[in-house]
Structure 1
Amino acid sequence: MSWLGVAATSPRIVQAVKAAIAVAIAWSIAPLLPGVADDYPYYAPLGALVSMYPTLMSSVRNALQTLGGLTVGILLAGAVIVLSEPNVLTISLAVGVGAAISATGWFGASREYIPVTALFVLIVGGPNADGYSIGYLVQMTLGIAIGLAVNLLFFPPLAFEAVGQQLIRFRRALADQLSEVADALADSWPPERDGWAFRSQELVAVGRAVRVAVSHADDSRKGNPRARVHQRDLRSDYDELSALEDVTFHVRDLTEVLAAAVWGQPVQLELHPELRPALGRTLHAAAAVLRDWDTDDDEQAAFAEAGAALTDLMTELDERRNSAPVMSLGVAATVAMDVTRILTALRPHILPEADEGDQADAAPDPTPTR
């Protein structure tokens, strides 16, 4: 597909075109309304715009919040007119009360309409406040209804594709981190490259972006007729995301432990040098599990290799138990425990049919035997 074709079908461009169509329809129909609403046709296009959100449910939610905010603002202005008269004090009081109500967050992104509407009714409406209020509310309602209809009938947004892409990005980021840490173990000691030691927050940020994408996709399917044709198991996506978040915790932990063994910060730790090759192989194998996630048989083979590498590391730890200082084995044992927990988190997604005996073989207990 050409660049022009990709741009023309991007969600933002489609949404912009839909907004333009909704505004055009609202502006065409607004003058046809009877009564005082005919005097305020410019509020209909505004209503169409405020109802244009990335998903149907967010559009409906914002539409209801907008109408609620307008109603509250009109009621505040009406209270001023009925109980007193518009002046500097009463107008300021109405706006202040409206701002206080909007600060509660009950009306979401449309909360600012409360004080603004009260101000408009009292100042712009003036002596014709009742007619202005009716026209304002009716035209905004018309525009919102048109915007919702356009959003529903013309390619209602469905954000499924981004979920798969973000999950792949998350797995790759974790795999790259494990591989880079493994490469550092094979490098000169201390390693010259230290970027891997300061990437924890980046991994957290990637995970946060994935959760936003999955939540957005979940919201986009609600009330969306396209979701019946283009289906996706978002429950499975949530489960995968949860597993990757667990993996992130353990990747960050082993990264911090190994960084402390290299530079002695934030605590002084020691890593037995002869354990570095086995640790590197284990981390590379765990990274391969994440990279081969969607490759059917390859992911199971990668998982088996990771289990074998972890077993070899456990065996070497056990063999050195009596000949090496306990502190020099502690770092390797901690990393082994983290890799075990990583494989445990990934196992249900890679070997869902495996029995408990296979699980014991794939992810052995990292505690050295006594």
Structure 2
Amino acid sequence: MTGTTLASVTHTAWQLKSQITRSRMLQAGKAAVAVGISWSIAPHLPGVADNYPYYAPLGALVSMYPTLMGSVRNALQTLGSLAVGIVLAAAVLVLSQPNVVTISVAVGIGALIAATGWFGNNREYIPVTVLFVLIVGGPDADSYSIGYIVQISLGIVIGLLVNMLVFPALNLNGVGQKLSNYRSALADHLSEVAEALAEHWPPERDGWASRKDSLINLSSGLRTALQQADESRKVNPRARIHRHRDLSADYEDLAALETIAFHVRDLTEVLAGAVWGTPIKVELREDLRPSVSLALDAMAAALRDWDSGNTDLTAHSAAADALASLMAELDDRKDSTPATSMGAAISIAMDIARALAALLSRLESPATDD
């Protein structure tokens, strides 16, 4: 094995290790237990259902979602898809007989209904069920349909019970860390821009100009984590015990951070235009750069202070003072300096002002625990 191949295998192994989290291992274990229980009970159902025990484990798997609410939603959508498929198959049996034309028409109608998206990720069960009932069920389509849906329902019920009783997922722990990471990323970005402005012009370091796009990914990841945490609380008995996090305040924090990030990205583009002339060529006067740098650095300090949980507004007031100094300097020069050479600094100052306003709205109404 060559060194390159070994390195590739090692990298793949580390990737797999990072993806196999404790929560995913628990979910896999619960799925295995639910399948085992379903397979053990399925053959003992009365009537025709005991002829189709292999569908019970499938129902158990269908109901094993990371969150209870997701499991319930997925289960209902699956049962709805099965019911629609069985009705379409029954229509073929009542109105005609199974053949190439009628089966194709029924499957086509099922695919059209599935395409509406009403049945979520399990919409493809509609045309599949039509095929199963008409082809696999054949002359015993009525018995097959009953056994099919009864066994799937058994598996779903068992899966939901296992998911609910065995440590149902409550994805609250990662939200606070992701919020902190977002604040830190914004603060670090502003500090880097401030340092670049304080150095000789044009700045040698240019990482800050491209790193602004990563803020979008952080925002998207945080919003996804919040939505997952919010859903994990629904119909979850553990949520009554772990009431230590106010997700409504977290959503407000995210909204404020997204507003701040928007203005941070905007001022970054303005500075990029001043350095490289893209996306728009602007001028940032040399004598204004120190004040702009101080205002950006003070804004970064205010974000770090917020992240520490401090709500006494000291750092925010310092950032507001730095901004006021920049605005006063701009006012002093407005009569003697061409407007074209002031535009960049004015735009940056306005972005800082709006970002500080968004930050202040959260500092004046801090998050409270349940």
TM over 0.5: yes
Retained in 2: the 8 A contact 1:8–1:14? Answer: no
CA deviations on 1:202-235 (whole Å, 9 max, x unpaired) are 2122111111111111111111111111112111
| 1:198 maps to 2:178 | no
Deviation of 1:90 after TM superposition, in Å, equals 1.2
2:163 equivalent in structure 1: 151
2:77 equivalent in structure 1: 65
C-alpha distance in 1 between matches for 2:130 and 2:309? 61
SS of 1:292's equivalent in the other structure is helix
Q: 1:162 to 1:269 in 2, by over 3 A?
A: same
One-letter identity of the residue aligned with 1:271: L
C-alpha distance in 2 between matches for 1:265 and 1:287? 25
1:364 equivalent in structure 2: none
TM (normalized to structure 2)? 0.90
1:339 equivalent in structure 2: 352
1:290 equivalent in structure 2: 303
Retained in 2: the 8 A contact 1:76–1:118? Answer: yes
C-alpha distance in 2 between matches for 1:52 and 1:100? 27
Give the aligned length.
348
| 1:228 maps to 2:211 | no
* Structure 1 residues 26-45: aligned runs within 5 Å: 26-45=38-57
* Structure 1 residues 138-217: aligned runs within 5 Å: 138-217=150-229
CA deviations on 1:280-331 (whole Å, 9 max, x unpaired) are 1111111112122242448733212211211221222222223322222221
* Structure 1 residues 7-156: aligned runs within 5 Å: 10-156=22-168
Q: 1:8 to 1:76 in 2, by over 3 A?
A: closer
Query: Gaps (5+ residues) in structure 2?
Result: 1-17
Deviation of 1:263 after TM superposition, in Å, equals 1.3
2:363 equivalent in structure 1: 350
1:326 equivalent in structure 2: 339
C-alpha distance in 1 between matches for 2:48 and 2:321? 79
1:269 equivalent in structure 2: 282
C-alpha distance in 2 between matches for 1:287 and 1:227? 35
One-letter identity of the residue aligned with 2:112: A
Deviation of 1:114 after TM superposition, in Å, equals 0.3
2:260 to 226, 241, 247: 247
C-alpha distance in 2 between matches for 1:78 and 1:187? 77
Retained in 1: the 8 A contact 2:31–2:159? Answer: yes
C-alpha distance in 1 between matches for 2:42 and 2:363? 57
TM (normalized to structure 1)? 0.90
C-alpha distance in 2 between matches for 1:262 and 1:299? 37
The RMSD of aligned alpha carbons is 1.8
1:219 equivalent in structure 2: 231
2:13 equivalent in structure 1: none
C-alpha distance in 2 between matches for 1:313 and 1:254? 15
Query: Gaps (5+ residues) in structure 1?
Result: 1-5, 354-370
Retained in 1: the 8 A contact 2:291–2:325? Answer: yes
SS of 2:116's equivalent in the other structure is coil
1:303 equivalent in structure 2: 316
Deviation of 1:198 after TM superposition, in Å, equals 2.3
C-alpha distance in 2 between matches for 1:296 and 1:164? 12
Retained in 1: the 8 A contact 2:44–2:50? Answer: yes
Retained in 2: the 8 A contact 1:7–1:13? Answer: no
Q: 1:344 to 1:190 in 2, by over 3 A?
A: same
C-alpha distance in 1 between matches for 2:86 and 2:65? 25
2:329 equivalent in structure 1: 316
| Percentage of matched positions with identical amino acids | 62
Retained in 1: the 8 A contact 2:311–2:363? Answer: no
SS of 2:300's equivalent in the other structure is helix
Higher mean Cα deviation, 154-163 or 192-201?
A: 192-201
Retained in 2: the 8 A contact 1:70–1:137? Answer: yes
C-alpha distance in 2 between matches for 1:167 and 1:87? 59
1:356 equivalent in structure 2: none
One-letter identity of the residue aligned with 1:31: P
